Amino acid sequence: MIGYGFMGAAHSQGWRVAPRFFDLPAHPSMTVVVGRNADAVAAAAEKWGWDEAATDWREVIDRDDIDIVDIVTPGDTHAEIAIAALEAGKHVLCEKPLANTVAEAEAMADAATRAAERGVRAMVGFTYRRVPAATFARDLIAAGRIGDIRQVRASYRQDWLMDAEAPLTWRMKKERAGSGALGDIGAHAVDLSEYITGLRLQSVSGVIDTIVRERPLLAEGVGLSGTASTERGEVTVDDVAFFAGRYANPAGGYGPLGTFEATRFATGRKNALRVEVSGSLGAVAFDLERLNELEFYDATLPANEQGFRTILVTEHDHPYLAPWWPPGHMLGYEHGFSHQVVDFVDAIVAGEQPRPSFADGLHVQRVLDAVERSSASDSSWISTD
């Protein structure tokens, strides 16, 4: 695993726990974690259960005892690491968004296509697909339970940047992160809406904005919880994004519309990813802040019986649930990362393409880019092709 921050902890949990609950066709060995700070990455290895730590990712991907490379670094390093790893014959799991630019994502998708010809697989980590309630929403829609899809509403709302004096971190610098709320959390809203509906966005129209344009710099050597410097730096990414999207119609012609919001300034919302899909026979709604539940509306019932009902997604015949706890015992945020490992390892051993693929990640990157171009040009609709 290359990188060891917040996502490093989450991915480590997935690699460590998945083979202990699921009967995997191959057993992942947590061989080495890589980071630039030797002391910090050594501490991470000890804490999270990696056999060893290293500081040079190039040396690590050349090792014969490494089969998989898991990339959890900031977006500006994804392309270089992923392409090198694929060319070295390593299967690659890369955190979202796939890259910082469409050009980088295209290069990564091309490398993945070439690697697949040699049996080498690549997947992008849109982990919320693996939340059982989200997967169950997809299953209900695919089974025709809500009829024809007529409208989609997707939002990802957080408030962690509400404090205008919160320090400037790499996530607020375009050269490191690529974009702000749009790419960091809006990418999840785009991917999850497409996964649940089975539809693909073909055009968008939107606007992005930066609410707080300057923030204090972190004093040298000081962590996020420490005291910020008196100097200030420019925030070069968006804080909030709003856009409309038109999905393609598999039968031809226009598909349904979707509305999207991604913000880090939604006061009181901590991690509120919500997707609601309205159809001709009913509706489903998923909310990450209530991740063990799915709201379902059956419009075929008599009028005096209609209304959204809450399904507790903890039964053993719900997606991913059988190996875990007795029915009614909740899962948490971290479990999606175990399910991600299960799907990735299963696909590798079966010789199949895991999803979402790098091509899927490239598509999301094109959607994000189209939203930015729409906002910059005040254009009405921008194609995502």
pLDDT digits 0-9 by tens, 102-136? 999 999 999 999 999 999 999 999 999 999 999 99
User: What is the Cα–Cα distance from 130 to 335, expressed in whole angstroms?
Assistant: 8
Q: Where are the domains of the chain?
A: 6-128, 130-331+364-374
Q: What is the pTM of this model?
A: 0.94
In the prediction, which pLDDT does 223 show? Answer: 47
Give the orientation angle of helix 358-377 with respect to helix 187-197, to 10 degrees. Answer: 120
Q: Is the pLDDT of residue 219 over 80?
A: no
Model pLDDT, residue 253: 81
Q: What phi and psi values does residue 21 have, to the nearest 5 degrees? A: -115, -30
Q: What is the DSSP letter of 314?
A: -
pLDDT at 254: 87
User: Cβ(171)–Cβ(215) under 8 Å?
Assistant: no
For the residues of 229-298, what is the DSSP string, one character each?
EEEEEE--S-SEEEEEEEEE-TTSSEEEEEEEEEES--TT-SSEEEEEEEESSEEEEEEGGGTTEEEEEE
Residue 300 CB partners (closer than 8 Å, separation 6+): 281, 282
Whose CA is closest to 295, among 145, 191, 156, 166? 145
Across 170-178, average pLDDT = 90
For residues 359 and 108, is the Cβ–Cβ distance under 8 A? Answer: no
pLDDT at 229 over 90: no
pLDDT at res. 385? 81
Helices within the chain (DSSP H only): 6-21, 38-48, 57-61, 78-87, 102-116, 132-142, 174-177, 181, 187-197, 335-350, 358-377
* pLDDT tens per residue across span 236-269: 999 999 999 999 998 888 899 999 999 999 999 9
CATH number of 6-128: 3.40.50.720
pLDDT (average), residues 367-379: 92
State residue 159's pLDDT score.
Answer: 96
Amino acid at 15: W
Q: Is pLDDT above 70 for 217?
A: yes
pLDDT in tens, 59-108: 999 999 999 999 999 999 999 999 999 999 999 999 999 999 999 999 99
pLDDT at 252: 83
Check whether 16 has a pLDDT greater than 70: yes
Q: Which residues of 260-294 are buried (b: 16+ CB within 10 A; e: fewer)?
A: bbbbbbbeebeebbbbbbbbeebbbbbbbeebbbb
- Residue 224, pLDDT above cutoff 70: no
As a whole number of angstroms, the distance between CA 185 and CA 155 comes to: 9
Residue 78, judged by CB atoms within 10 A of its CB (0-12, 13-18, 19+), counts as buried
Average pLDDT, the chain: 95
Q: Residue 227: pLDDT band by 50, 70, 90 thresholds? A: low
pLDDT of residue 220: 57
**Looking at residues 46-52, what average pLDDT do you find?**
98
pLDDT for the residue 380: 74
Of 18-22, 114-118, 220-224, the poorest mean pLDDT is in 220-224
Compute the C-alpha angle 235/240/244, nearest 5°: 140
Q: CATH fold of 130-331+364-374, please?
A: Dihydrodipicolinate Reductase; domain 2 (3.30.360)
**Pairing verdict, β 149-157 and 272-279:** antiparallel
Q: Is the pLDDT of residue 35 over 80?
A: yes
Do residues 284 and 295 lie in contact, with contact meaning Cβ atoms separated by under 8 Å?
yes
More confident residue, 362 or 223: 362
Q: Give the burial string for 159-195 (b: 16+ CB within 10 Å, else e).
A: bebeeeebbbeebbbbebbbbbbbbbbbbbbbbbbbb
Average pLDDT estimate for 294-314? 97
Residues in the chain, total? 385
Query: Cα(185)–Cα(367) distance, rounded to whole angstroms?
Result: 13
**Residue 225: what pLDDT?**
46
Backbone angles phi, psi at 58, to 5 degrees: -65, -40
First to last CA, the chain: 32
Name the band, by pLDDT with cuts 50, 70 and 90, for residue 222.
very low
